[in-house]
Amino acid sequence: MQTAFTPDQLARPEIAEADGILKTCVHYGFCTGTCPTYVLFRDENDSPRGRIDLIKAMLEKGGAPDPKTVHHLDRCLSCLSCMTTCAVKVDYVHLIDIARSHIEKNFRRPLPDRMLRLLLAQTLPYPARFLAALRLARLAQHFARLMPGRLRGLIGMAKARPAKPEILSPQVHFAQGERLMRVAILAGCAQQALDRSINAATIRILQRHGCDVIVAEGAGCCGALPLHMGFEAQAKTLASANVDAWSRLLNGGLDAVVVNASGCGTTLKDYGHLLGSENAKRIGALTRDITEILMQLGLRAGREMKPYRVAYHDACSLQHGQKLIAPPRQLLKRVGFTVLDVPEKHFCCGSAGTYNLLQPEIANALGQRKAAHVESTDPDIVAAGNLGCMVQIGRFGATPVVHTVELLDWATGGPVPAALQGRALREPPAAASAPEGAAISVTPDQTPPDSAGIW
Amino acid sequence: MSNNLEAFFSDIGKMLGADGVNRSEATIRRYGENTMACDDVLPAGVVYPASTADVQAIVRAANTYHVPLYPVSTGHNIGLGSRAAARSGQVVVDLGYRMNRILEIDEKLAFAVVEPGVSYQALHDELVRRGNKLMLDVTSGPPQGGMIGNALDKGAGYTPYFDHFGFSCGLEIVLGNGEVLRTGDGALNSETLANWHTSKYSFGPILDGLFAQSNYGIVTRMGVWLLPRPPMVRSFHFTFPDDDDLEAVIDLCRPMKMSNFVPTLFRVANDLYLCGSEGESPEYAASKGKTSISDEGRRALRERHGLGAWNVSGAFYGPSSAALEPMIQRVRDHFGQSGKATYIDHADAGAIPPLQVAINAFSGVPSLGELGLLKWRPGGGNLWFLPGTPMDGKIANEFQRICRGIYEEHGMDYMVMNVCGPRFARGLHVMTFNREDADERGRADACYRRMSEEVASRGVYVGRAPIQYHDFHMAQAMPVYRDACNSVKVALDPNGVIAPGRYGIG
At residue A302, the pLDDT reads: 82
Q: DSSP per residue over B482-496, as a string?
A: HHHHHHHHHHH-TT-
**Alpha-carbon dihedral A93, A315, A128, A407, rounded to 10 degrees:** -150
- Strands across the sheet with B69-72, in order? B21-22, B45-47, B91-94, B69-72
pLDDT value at residue B163 = 97
Distance CA B254, CA B423 (A): 7
Average pLDDT (B432-451) is 97
Question: In this predicted structure, which of A116-120, A243-247, A317-321, B450-454 has the lowest mean pLDDT?
Answer: A116-120
In angstroms, the Cα distances linking A416 to A117, A295, A397, B46, B420 are 37, 22, 21, 54, 54
- Supply the pLDDT for residue A415: 96
Amino acid found at B483: D
pLDDT exceeds 60 at position B470: yes
Count the alpha carbons within 13 Å of B355 in the hemisphere toward its beta carbon.
27
Please report the pLDDT score of residue A430 as a whole number: 65
| β-pair type (B415-420, B266-270) | antiparallel
What integer best gives the mean pLDDT of chain B?
A: 97
Beta B342-345 vs B217-225: how paired, if at all? unpaired
Q: From the CA of B383, how many Å to the nearest CA of chain A?
A: 12
| Short-list A330, A357, A334, CA closest to A411 | A334
**Per-residue pLDDT for B90 more than 90?**
yes
**In this complex, do A87 and B233 lie within 8 Å of one another by their Cβ atoms?**
no
Angle among Cα B216, B222, B225 to the nearest 5 degrees reads: 135
pLDDT number for residue A445: 44
- Binning pLDDT at 50, 70 and 90, where does residue A134 land? confident
Cβ contacts of residue A105 below 8 Å, gap of 6+?
A230
Per-residue model confidence (pLDDT) at position A61: 97
Kindly tell me if the per-residue pLDDT of A432 is higher than 70. no
Residue A14 to residue A22: CA distance in whole angstroms: 12
- Residue B399: per-residue pLDDT: 96
CB contact under 8 A, A27 and B24: no
Of A100-109, A134-143, A190-199, B286-295, which gets the smallest average pLDDT?
A: A134-143
Q: What mean pLDDT value characterizes chain A?
A: 91
How confident is residue A153, by pLDDT bands cut at 50, 70 and 90? Answer: low
- Size of chain B, expressed as the number of residues it contains: 506
Phi then psi dihedrals of residue A449, to 5 deg? -75, -20
Mutate: best of A2, A3, A23, A28, partner B, most B CBs <10 A: A28
Q: Distance between terminal CA atoms of chain A? A: 51
- The alpha helices in A144-277, defined as continuous H runs, are 149-160, 190-194, 196-208, 224-228, 232-250, 262-269, 271-275
Tell me whether residues B231 and A448 touch, CB distance under 8 A.
Answer: yes
Model pTM score: 0.94
pLDDT at site B269: 98
Chain B residue numbers touching A2 (CB-CB < 8 A): 436
CA angle B51, B56, B58 (to 5 degrees): 95
Whether A57 has its CB under 8 Å from any CB of chain B: the answer is: no
Contacts of A282 (CB under 8 A, 6+ apart): A247, A250
pLDDT score for A138 = 74
Closest CA to B197 of B105, B130, B119, B121: B105
Q: Is the pLDDT of residue A187 over 80?
A: yes
- Lowest model confidence (mean pLDDT) among A25-39, A126-140, A401-415, B289-303: A126-140
In A319-448, which ranges are continuous DSSP H helix?
326-334, 355-358, 360-376, 387-396, 404-411
| Rounded alpha-carbon distances, angstroms, from residue B201 to A455, B179, B196, B198, B216 | 28, 22, 10, 10, 20
Question: What's the pLDDT band for A156 if we cut at 50, 70, 90?
Answer: low
Q: With an 8 Å Cβ cutoff, is B97 touching chain A?
A: yes
pLDDT(A436) > 50: no
Q: Which among B23, B3, B11 has a CA at the least distance from the CA of B91? A: B23
Rounded distance, CA B335 to CA B342, Å? 9
Residue type, A1: M
CB contacts of B26 in chain A (<8 Å) are 43-45, 50
Least confident range from A58-72, A149-163, B289-303: namely A149-163
Q: Whole-angstrom Cα distance, residue A395 to residue A376?
A: 16
Residue A152: Cβ within 10 Å count:
17
In A280-363, the DSSP E strands lie at 287-289, 309-313, 338-341
Q: Beta partners for A312?
A: A341, A383
Closest CA to B161 of B184, B142, B183, B134: B134
Position A128 scores a pLDDT of 84
When pLDDT is averaged across residues A426-432 and rounded to a whole number, the result is 73
The predicted structure's pLDDT at residue A131: 81
Mean pLDDT of B381-386: 97
E-only strand ranges, B58-176: 69-72, 91-94, 102-106, 111-114, 134-135, 168-175
B322 touching chain A per CB within 8 A: no
Nearest CB to A451; choose among B75, B125, B228: B228
Do residues B235 and B241 make contact, with C-beta atoms less than 8 angstroms apart? no
Cα(A407)–Cα(A331) distance, integer angstroms: 10
Starting from the edge strand earliest in sequence, which strands make up the sheet with A287-289, in order? A171-173, A211-215, A181-185, A256-259, A287-289
Mean pLDDT along residues B414-424: 98
Asked whether A165 and A196 are in contact (CB, 8 A), the reply is yes
Per-residue pLDDT, averaged over A294-317, amounts to 93
What is the arithmetic mean of pLDDT over B340-361? 96
Q: What is the reported pLDDT for A401?
A: 97
* Per-residue pLDDT tens over the stretch A370-383: 999 999 999 999 99
Contact between A451 and B133 using a beta-carbon 8 Å cutoff = yes
Q: Coil, helix or strand for A175? A: coil
pLDDT at B187: 96
Convert the pLDDT of each residue in B257-283 to its tens digit: 999 999 999 999 999 999 999 999 999
- The amino acid that residue B391 corresponds to is M
Nearest CA in chain A to B233: A445
Residue B324 CA to residue B320 CA, distance in Å, equals 7
Within 10 A of A66 (CB to CB), how many other CB atoms are there?
12
Model pLDDT, residue A129:
87
Whether the CB-CB separation of B475 and B486 falls below 8 Å is answered with no
**pLDDT score recorded for residue A324:** 97
A168 Cβ contact list (under 8 Å, min separation 6): A187, A192, A199, A215
Q: What is the pLDDT of residues B283-338, one digit of tens each?
A: 999 999 999 999 999 999 999 999 999 999 999 999 999 999 999 999 999 999 99
pLDDT band at B256 (very low <50, low <70, confident <90, very high): very high
Q: Tell me the C-alpha distance between B487 and B489, whole Å.
A: 5
The CA dihedral of B392, B393, B396, B399, to the nearest 10 degrees, is -120
Q: What chain A residue is nearest to B133 in terms of C-alpha separation?
A: A451
Mean pLDDT of A99-122: 94
pLDDT of residue A437: 31
Assess: ipTM above 0.90: yes
Could you tell me what percent of chain A has a pLDDT over 70? Answer: 90
Classify burial at B329, counting beta carbons within 10 Å of its beta carbon; exposed 0-12, middle 13-18, buried 19 or more: exposed
Q: Is the pLDDT of residue A147 over 80?
A: no
Residue A154: band (very low, low, confident or very high) from pLDDT cuts 50, 70, 90:
low
CA distances from residue B102 to A50, B113, B193 in whole angstroms, order as listed: 29, 6, 18
Considering only the beta carbons, identify the residue of A441, A448, A455 that sits closest to B319: A455
Question: Which among A30, A344, A450 has CB closest to B76?
Answer: A30
Measured between alpha carbons, how far is A124 from A134 in angstroms, rounded to an integer?
10
Distance from CA of B478 to the nearest CA of A (A): 35
- Beta B45-47 vs B21-22: how paired, if at all? antiparallel
**A115-124, A127-136, B153-162: which has the minimum mean pLDDT?**
A127-136
Optimal mutation site among A2, A44, A312, A377, interface B, most CBs of chain B within 10 A: A44
**Nearest alpha carbon to residue A324 among A339, A314, A332:** A314
Residue A162: predicted pLDDT: 64
A27 touches chain B (CB under 8 A): yes
Q: 3-state class of B102 per DSSP?
A: strand
Average pLDDT over residues B83-99: 97
* pLDDT class of A216 with cuts at 50, 70, 90: very high
* Upper half-sphere CA count for residue B455 (Cβ side, 13 Å): 31
Chain B CB contacts of A438 below 8 Å? 131-132
Record: contact A453-B228, CB cut-off 8 A: yes
Preferred mutation among B24, B144, B367 to probe A, highest tally of A CBs within 10 A? B144
Which are the contacts of A64, defined by CB distance < 8 A and separation ≥ 6? A106, A107, A108
Is-contact B141 B184, C-beta < 8 A? no
Q: How far apart are CA B432 and CA B380, in angstroms?
A: 7
Q: Touching check for B318 and chain A: CB below 8 Å?
A: yes
Name which of A445, A446, A450 to mutate to probe chain B: the one with the most chain B Cβ atoms within 10 A of its Cβ. Answer: A445
Q: Is A300 helix (H, G, I), strand (E, B) or coil?
A: coil
User: Of A395, A381, A428, A181, whose CA–CA distance to A294 is shortest?
Assistant: A181
